[in-house]
Amino acid sequence: MYSLTLTADERRAFDWVGSRFNSGKVADLLLDCIREDREWGDDGSITFIISEHVAWEINELAEEDYSWACLAPALVAKLNDLCWSVV
């Protein structure tokens, strides 16, 4: 299992980018990893517990160039750290 913690602003960035640049597909995958007592639009940080096969799917979506177009550098670093930790 892998974990990724996103702030409310980072999740809003995914919403802003929408389905462009595979961000929407990544957000959809993360939605499946959210605990039942939390919702994507909640205030505060959410830690997603990501199964290995979902982590691989996220990595494959990012594999083209790991640039995460339109996302802030700190969020890009978090996403790349997740992708590069997949074994």
Model confidence over 8-41: pLDDT tens digits? Answer: 999 999 999 988 888 889 999 999 999 889 999 9
Q: Give the domain ranges of the chain.
A: 2-85
What pTM value is reported for the model?
0.90
pLDDT tens digit sequence for 26-82? 999 999 999 889 999 999 999 999 999 999 999 999 987 788 889 999 999 999 999
- Residues forming beta bridges with residue 3, ordered by sequence position: 49
Question: Number of C-alpha atoms within 13 angstroms, CB side, residue 45?
Answer: 6
**CB within 8 Å of 35: residues ≥ 6 apart:** 46, 49
The answer to whether the CB of 64 falls within 8 A of the CB of 17 is no
